[in-house]
Amino acid sequence: MAFKTVDLNIYIYEGTEGSYTSTDLKYNIQKSIIGEDTEVVFEISELVRDYIDQTFNNDYLSKCVWVTTIATLIDDEGVVFTYGSPVSTNYLAVDGYGYFEDEINPTLIGNALMTANSIYLPEDTTGVLPIYAAGVGKVTIDSVDTEITDNGNTNQKLQYVTIPANSSTIQVYDTDDSTLLRTITVYNVCEPKYTPFKVTFVNKYGVYQDLYFFKKSTETFNVTDETFKRNTVTTNSSVN
């Protein structure tokens, strides 16, 4: 019999990979092949996103979830395939995004979870470096090593390494502790007149990233208006 339909169970949970229970079943979706297609495609990112809490209280917590999908394959007579079915797949999901150049299903997680290789901090101010724990063995900041461990739990998959005040160079190494993956330069900005303001946002990798605003912002605008006097026409009429 020909393959026709997929019945998909989606489990979303925290903890370690594969540790889901029946209460973690969030969605059951069924979809069939359309026309001459040979496969079924599910878009589940927006469904998963509902279960990633992005509340922030300057605490820099690991905000991610495990997703396990179990796909049951069904033929055109409604009979479940016994060979190659069901298909179980695990994903680590973050609240990130890709650009259209990244094409479909871009891989966003790597090591240091920021696109730029520079960080600007006010003088005498500490910072944070977001990293993906499973892809980093150690972080070296000005010759001081910080070992990174990964126990598979969602509460530490995304980690934030403290950048000491007035640091200059950050080196991010692979899990072998010897392969250099990234070098990030820290610029310590002297701002004696204005108070720098920190903005924390969720970047494309789904982690919190700090951005400091220095100096001041002044905006001006001009407004012009016109007035006009309405002409009043008075008519006299009489009725005989």
The verdict on residue 235 lying in a domain is no
Q: What residue numbers bound the domain in which 193 lies?
A: 118-213
Examine the fold and report which residue of 32, 63, 95 is the final residue of a domain before the chain moves on: 95
The verdict on residue 239 lying in a domain is no
The verdict on residue 207 lying in a domain is yes
With residue 59 as reference, give the H or E element that holds it: none
* 11 shares its domain with 85: yes
List, in sequence order, every beta strand (DSSP E) within the chain: 3-13, 25-32, 64-75, 87-94, 118-122, 127-132, 138-141, 144-147, 158-163, 169-173, 180-189, 197-202, 208-213
The verdict on residue 205 lying in a domain is yes
* 208 shares its domain with 125: yes
Res. 115: pLDDT tops 90: no
Averaged confidence pLDDT in the chain:
91
* 206 shares its domain with 138: yes
Contact partners, residue 78, CB within 8 Å, separation at least 6:
5
User: 153 with 138: CB under 8 angstroms?
Assistant: no
- For the record, the structure tokens of 135 come out as 């892809």
pLDDT at 234: 61
* 125 shares its domain with 193: yes
The verdict on residue 237 lying in a domain is no
* 132 shares its domain with 80: no
User: 189 with 210: CB under 8 angstroms?
Assistant: no
Number of domains in the chain: 2
* 73 shares its domain with 151: no
**For residue range 120-174, what is the model confidence (pLDDT) as tens digits?**
999 999 999 999 999 999 999 999 999 999 999 999 999 999 999 999 999 999 9
In 59-138, which ranges are continuous DSSP H helix? none
* 91 shares its domain with 125: no
pLDDT at 170: 98
CA nearest neighbour of 203 among 111, 119, 131, 114: 114
- For the record, the structure tokens of 53 come out as 């809490």
* 67 shares its domain with 142: no
The verdict on residue 129 lying in a domain is yes
User: 73 with 99: CB under 8 angstroms?
Assistant: no
In one-letter notation, the amino acid at residue 216 is K
